[in-house]
Homo-oligomer: A and B are copies of this chain.
Amino acid sequence: MIINKDSFLDAYLQDRRKIVEEALHWYLPTENNTPVEIYKAIHYSVFAGGKRIRPILCLAATEASGGDMAQAMPVACALELIHTYSLIHDDLPSMDNDDFRRGKPTCHKVFGENIAILAGDALLTEAFIVLSRAEKLKFSAEKRLAVIQEISQAAGIAGMVGGQTLDVLSEKSRPDQEVLYEIHRRKTGALIKAAVRSGAIMSNARENKIQALADYGLNIGMAFQIADDILNVEGNRELMGKETGSDTALGKVTYPSLMGMDYAKAELQKHIDAAIASLTIFDKRALPLRLIARYIMERKS
């Protein structure tokens, strides 16, 4: 029997997305004690139709490492809260000044700039509440601290905030290939790498497996960003939920604009191949991770 890998992955992603979204409801601040505007802004942005790729990767890495998915859930959700905060702040007028995301008005367009900034601040903070509070987890306090360290470093200056800073500054001075790589690595690669490494750490994986997942994460993070750049040129507006061609119109430096579309596609392939190659020491429980790598290359939105 030949397994249809595409339909397996579709069902897998849909199932995981559903589980993660149910858990997100559980880990978000309750309506009680939360000022109503910020409660609405947080829910609006967290449930705006995200692909939940970071939490899904964290859970998949946990299972690939022989860990318990249920135990990893708070960490998976914390990653999505951090990702959502970064989107809210990136969209702000003084940053990328985006009016739409995933076909919906951005947080500051709906709730105002001040509430959007605060909603982002709240989500980032909430992530660390979730990471530090989950008392019933079976993995040790040491492992939990290691995960907090992993995620905070990926979200910080060496990772996401640093990448966004380089990105904002690159609008003034055209970045070269090296800077562009650094932006993608920090802005997207670091948190995805932390997602899969965290899964491995929680599963008591050995160092060689943690390192292999770090390689996998960094490569699919890079691939994800290059695929985004390619889709911005060649993608279908309807499927994307936003205008295509915006990078070109803004004169934004991307892999396709800087090195050409052929080069960008070759780089994408290279990162996907490297990601899949890094998983050789894992058994069949890493199948979802392998398929997700391929999905990133072939996705249409």
- Residues on A close to B: CB < 8 A? 29, 33-35, 37-38, 89, 92, 94-95, 112-115, 117-118, 120-122, 124-126, 128-129, 131-133, 140-142, 144-146, 148-149, 152-153, 155-158, 161-162, 164-166, 168-169
* Chain B minimum-CB-distance residue to A162: B35
Given A35-B169, A125-B124; A132-B118 close (CB under 8 Å): no
30 cross-chain CB contacts under 8 A? A29-B157, A34-B162, A35-B157, A35-B162, A37-B169, A38-B161, A38-B162, A38-B165, A89-B117, A89-B118, A94-B112, A94-B113, A95-B117, A118-B161, A118-B165, A120-B121, A122-B161, A124-B125, A125-B152, A125-B155, A125-B156, A125-B157, A126-B156, A129-B153, A132-B146, A132-B152, A141-B144, A141-B145, A144-B145, A145-B145
Question: A161 with B95: in contact, given A37-B169, A117-B117, A133-B149 (CB under 8 Å)?
Answer: no
With A140-B141, A162-B38 known as contacts, the answer to whether A92 contacts B121 (CB < 8 A) is no
Q: How far is the CA of A117 from the CA of B168 in the complex (A)?
A: 12
Given the interface contacts A35-B166, A141-B140, does A122 sit within 8 Å of B29 by beta carbon? no
Which residue of chain B lies nearest to A130 when distances are taken between CB atoms in the complex? B152
A132 near B161: Cβ-Cβ < 8 Å:
no
In Å, the complex CA distance between A162 and B125 comes to 11
Given the interface pairs A128-B152, A132-B148, A145-B132, the reply to whether A158 lies near B117 with Cβ below 8 Å is: no
**Smallest Cβ distance from A153 to chain B, in angstroms?**
6
A37-B165, A132-B146 known; 13 new pairs, CB 8 Å cut-off, are A35-B162, A35-B169, A118-B168, A122-B156, A122-B161, A124-B124, A124-B125, A125-B152, A125-B156, A125-B157, A126-B157, A133-B153, A141-B141
